[in-house]
Structure 1
Amino acid sequence: MIRTVVILYVAFFVVGPNLIGPAREADAVRTVIGAVRQTAYASQERQP
């Protein structure tokens, strides 16, 4: 689970800026952080 998040995070930082451009990078980072938080919250619910 954590490994998947790390892979997505690294892939985003390698590929993201080249596709999105610097102007939208901050919005994309906020979106990714939100998604990671939701995923972490969901995994906590599954394993109380």
Structure 2
Amino acid sequence: MIYLHALQELEMETRMALVPDTWEDPRDTPLGSFGNETPPQDLPREVSA
């Protein structure tokens, strides 16, 4: 059980080391900011079957 906990700690430390400090925390984004974006022009349209 201790081994699994140590692996989880190592995984989190590795993830945190890979994320730069300049990244914004998405949890700080107000909910009103989501859903107002238009998709990119080069995004393929959905094909209905």
TM-score range, shorter chain: 0.3 to 0.5
TM-score normalized by structure 2?
0.40
**Richer in helix (by share):** 1
Task: Please identify the structure whose Cα radius of gyration is greater.
Answer: 2
If asked which structure has higher relative contact order (CA below 8 Å, sep 6+), I would say 1
